[in-house]
Structure 1
């Protein structure tokens, strides 16, 4: 496999592999039983097929869906596969399309079918129950059997420690803000997006307990206009740095930041999921993107595809990716960071990896975190 697809060492042994026959606690951890990995026969690359169903943001959201597709494309190119023959995607325009889109791929005998995003939980559960021989994977959700409280052995669950990377984004924001006011724009308020919000706020407060943090949700992953309006309000009220976890909606943040930057207003945006430096470019050579919280969904998708092709479908497992896998972190684009900021981010990263800092992922954990500052 290409070096960049393996540079995070995200094979099955490198992530948290949890079982199909245990019980889940509040943190999603599962215990008991064997690995749940399917030791099937390897499929010739030329015969292997894999498809993905997008979340609502669309394949060109410049964020979550796009990153997932880039991973599938990289996998296909590495093994000489043909797009639309061996690997493909189906775009979802509404949540009502999730289930039929997944089902159609399964019915076409696609070897591996990805559902991209936590909003697909119910749809992929239904398809898994109706098609026990299917090999399904979902990103950003652990799907449990509601009757038995067990994992499905025909679903691989890919999750990330977004709160850890968001903490580092908060460190950057706290070090770079000049107004002492920063903001967070979320997509749909949910347990998942709360991890981004809470981790970010914890990183800010760890560096500057007196900083003010504005938080607002779009309640959509594909409403750029609403996100731009929220960003406009935050910037107008003195916020100078805004971090988003809003999918395609987040592009509205970049629009607002660039409009203001063209009028010589010093504001910044922090990207998410992939390096969004280019999304912030204006006047050819400048960007309003301060940094981005990178989430390597592409690596996870590529690796699970390869494992499945080789007969090792990780059904009935929770595969968790974080800082220690280099699957979560801060982007390599450092052009807009002040001197010393990158070193300070690495310092906090080391403290998280050593266990000296436990990053909160929920509101209750955040309150506990604040009490210890």
Structure 2
């Protein structure tokens, strides 16, 4: 079980439990499932690249759906993406969920933005949520669920700086996008807040429209090895399932890895590396998903842009392994500075 520690008014913990969906889409298993009887709410979820089982971003969203299924008795369906798919594939996936009667529908990831806008405009009576995107052109039936990734990453940077013995750390981003730059910016700011002289290596695995950087553990491993060879001894990866390759390389070198989105030291596929996963910057997508579905079920749906920040436990640091217990006071102080407004964390490197 994960343990959590409080940072001032903020809980630094692994993300909450949640996950389950099925239906139309590239890797779909057509196993639409129902939980409870008498429920009229049918919730669809369309995953980003990597899908359920990525040990990271998608899994956090899936935990939210699972919790909604078990706690609220909703019917759920999940649809998975495939690497290298066209925009039309995303539109087809969402349209298939609409045709099957799912409402609301949750799109996991900013890559769905164009498809969500189009399908939502074509189906004004269906509610949609999109995670990690807040376009000003979205129709009124689309709700944005966003997070202050830079705030959680700042704390990860503080932890990295305090634990580094070489004064040399690294950041690996899956895709060089505005979203992942928020992780980079926060991390670097956190590192420099402790010691401006610490060197920070930065590597991106792909650049839009190539999104394979989120689903290529081999690239993640290679990038991490490159940073290790340059002297980095703490490496933070914000790269979806590619991060598992990075964690493997760092662990094999006996250094510190920092996970992302889910408490990666507690993920079955990565638990063998837990002694070398310093912490994970957990983005509590599950919390947002459950909140959105709960509001919809109660007849009071969330609208507009809903941001889950550090103060609201939208982002947090995992404490599995107790590896950051010795720097708790410094992390407490950093968290307090953010939540009080004394520190404004940058969103661009």
TM-score (norm. length: structure 1): 0.79
C-alpha separation between the residues in 1 aligned to 2:276 and 2:101?
45
Deviation at 1:162, TM superposition (A): 0.4
**Is 2:98 aligned against 1:106?**
yes
What pairs up with 1:16-95 in 2 under 5 angstroms? 46-81=39-74, 86-94=75-83, 95=85
Q: Secondary structure, in 3 states, of the residue corresponding to 1:323?
A: coil
Q: 1:187 aligns with which of 163, 168, 174?
A: 174
Deviation at 1:324, TM superposition (A): 1.0
Deviation at 1:45, TM superposition (A): 5.9
Q: Secondary structure, in 3 states, of the residue corresponding to 1:50?
A: strand
C-alpha separation between the residues in 2 aligned to 1:90 and 1:127?
15
C-alpha separation between the residues in 2 aligned to 1:181 and 1:88?
45
**Unaligned residue ranges in structure 2 (runs of 5+):** 1-9, 12-36, 207-212
C-alpha separation between the residues in 1 aligned to 2:252 and 2:241?
18
8 Å Cα contact 1:113-1:137 kept in structure 2 = yes
Q: 1:252 aligns with which of 235, 245, 249?
A: 245
Please name the residue that 1:342 is paired with: 328
8 Å Cα contact 1:258-1:282 kept in structure 2 = no
Q: Deviations over 1:211-268 (max 9, x none)?
A: 00000011110011011000011111111000011001111112212322xxxxx301
Q: Secondary structure, in 3 states, of the residue corresponding to 1:70?
A: helix
Deviation at 1:282, TM superposition (A): 3.1
C-alpha separation between the residues in 1 aligned to 2:315 and 2:271?
23
C-alpha separation between the residues in 1 aligned to 2:323 and 2:54?
23
Q: 1:306 aligns with which of 294, 297, 321?
A: 294
What pairs up with 1:237-316 in 2 under 5 angstroms? 237-260=230-253, 266-279=254-267, 280-282=270-272, 287-315=275-303
8 Å Cα contact 2:266-2:320 kept in structure 1 = no
Name the Cα RMSD after superposition. Answer: 2.0
Deviation at 1:334, TM superposition (A): 4.9
C-alpha separation between the residues in 1 aligned to 2:271 and 2:71?
31
Please name the residue that 2:114 is paired with: 122
**Unaligned residue ranges in structure 1 (runs of 5+):** 1-7, 10-43, 146-150, 261-265, 364-373
Please name the residue that 2:210 is paired with: none
Please name the residue that 1:352 is paired with: 338
TM-score (norm. length: structure 2): 0.84
Deviation at 1:174, TM superposition (A): 0.3
Please name the residue that 1:154 is paired with: 141
Deviation at 1:281, TM superposition (A): 3.5
Q: Secondary structure, in 3 states, of the residue corresponding to 1:157?
A: strand
8 Å Cα contact 2:174-2:239 kept in structure 1 = yes
List, as ranges, runs of 4+ consecutive aligned residues in structure 1 with deviation greater than 4 Å.
none
C-alpha separation between the residues in 2 aligned to 1:334 and 1:93?
34
8 Å Cα contact 1:71-1:297 kept in structure 2 = yes
C-alpha separation between the residues in 1 aligned to 2:298 and 2:68?
13
C-alpha separation between the residues in 1 aligned to 2:182 and 2:107?
20
Q: Which has the larger radius of gyration?
A: 1
Number of residues paired by the alignment? 306
- Describe the shift of the 1:291–1:45 C-alpha distance in structure 2 as closer, same or farther (beyond 3 A): farther
C-alpha separation between the residues in 2 aligned to 1:204 and 1:241?
11
C-alpha separation between the residues in 1 aligned to 2:49 and 2:315?
23
